[in-house]
Amino acid sequence: MAEEKKLTVLQLLPALQSGGVERGTLEVAQALTKQGHRALVISAGGRLVAPLTKTGAEHFTWPIGKKSLKTLLLVGKLRKFLAEEKVDIVHARSRVPAWIAWLAWRGMNTSTRPRFVTTVHGPYSVSAYSAVMTKGERVIAISKMIINYIVRNYPKVPQENVRLIYRGVDPKQFPSGYTPPDDWMRQWQQEHPGLAGKKILLLPARLTRWKGQTDFIDILEQVIKTRPDVHGLIVGETHPRKQAFMAELEARSKRLGVCQHLSFISHRADLREIMAISDIVYSLSREPEAFGRVSLEALSLGKPLIAYDHGGVKEQLAAILPEGAISVGDIGQAARKTLRWLDAPPHVPEQNPFTLERMLTATLDVYTELARAPRSK
């Protein structure tokens, strides 16, 4: 039997700073190189370039995510790049890079050009601009919520081209029952001596209005009436433009009398450890998350998760911890469940279907299947 052809796969995204799309790009690149394929990434660069290139992938720094008419000048450059590098698969993960890739790809010889893949990572505003994310010969949807979004808003997309591939976490990185190392615990206790002996409620979410910080404070207010031994943590990046919202949250916590029971902690690289020492983790986004990777990381660690029953997080809970789902905006229900779980934590199953290995296998299967598939005329 002939040896399987090794592929050259190019992924495009605006930058490689941080975030789920960026981490997914890195993980796919690593999986490709591990199997002997060639992994290329074009982005404006960022802190994840170094770990990317350590996997054996190649990075090319282009301003491909810049929302400017000048970015269209990259179309010809990319077309030339695709031909010179003999790219087999082009995988666009964001709208501006997808437009550049699609325009470059569309102008190539249909019998020899690369195959075109897109991933719909979220429910983008419905428009001709966003429609490019559905133009792939294969369109990856990261949850059933996203499949429904595509079907509802872009009914002309052939359903046979859409593939459901859930995001995934590595259970070795997020093992059930994980305990942080002693030196981390000592450092944490030095930084937060007031948390000793407290029950920790955690909302991991960047500071933005729809992520549920206001609801979390309201839940905390109800819980501490019965359980004054509780302390809430809001952990997430605070953009300078969000200072007014931060001030609002601090004022609310003072007005409701919870400021002594609440800490705001900016972006941390050790969120896994903070989740591991927490008693309950929350996902309170008022708008449905396309997937919600941090929620899955918490569940993988064996942490009870209370979450609004919509979006991709709803799909996670349905598969792993159905009793964690609560109605969107129902503060009373969240507080009552919190009090019950503080007394009797639920069992979180160790096995879950949302593993990194499954995600990577399914993604590489899309590449190899498409590379072999007949070309449409």
Q: Note the pLDDT of residue 83.
A: 97
Q: Note the pLDDT of residue 195.
A: 95
Q: What does DSSP say about strands 38-43 and 115-120: parallel, antiparallel, or unpaired?
A: unpaired
What is the percent of the chain with per-residue pLDDT over 70, rounded to a whole number? 99
Residues 291, 288: Cα–Cα separation, whole Å: 8
Residue at token pair 């301003």: 63
Phi, psi torsion values for 139, nearest 5 degrees:
-115, 115
Determine the angle formed by the axes of helices 331-343 and 213-226, rounding to 10 degrees. Answer: 50
Which residues lie below 8 Å from residue 149, measured CB to CB, with a gap of 6+?
120, 123, 141
- Read off the pLDDT of each residue in 229-256 and give the average, rounded to a whole number: 90
Q: Note the pLDDT of residue 1.
A: 41
Q: What domains does the chain contain, in order, with CATH numbers?
A: 8-168+356-372 (3.40.50.2000), 182-343 (3.40.50.2000)
Q: Note the pLDDT of residue 3.
A: 64
CB atoms within 10 A of CB 65: 18
Taking the whole predicted model, whether its pTM rises above 0.85 is answered as: yes
Assign 120 a pLDDT band (cuts: 50, 70, 90): very high
What is the percent of the chain with per-residue pLDDT over 90, rounded to a whole number? 90
For 80, the token pair is 């030339």
- Reported as a single tens digit per residue, the pLDDT across 289-300 is 999 999 999 999
| CA neighbor of 320 nearest in space, from 347, 289, 358 | 347
More confident residue, 141 or 206: 141
Q: Is 252 helix (H, G, I), strand (E, B) or coil?
A: helix
CB 123 within 8 A of CB 97: no
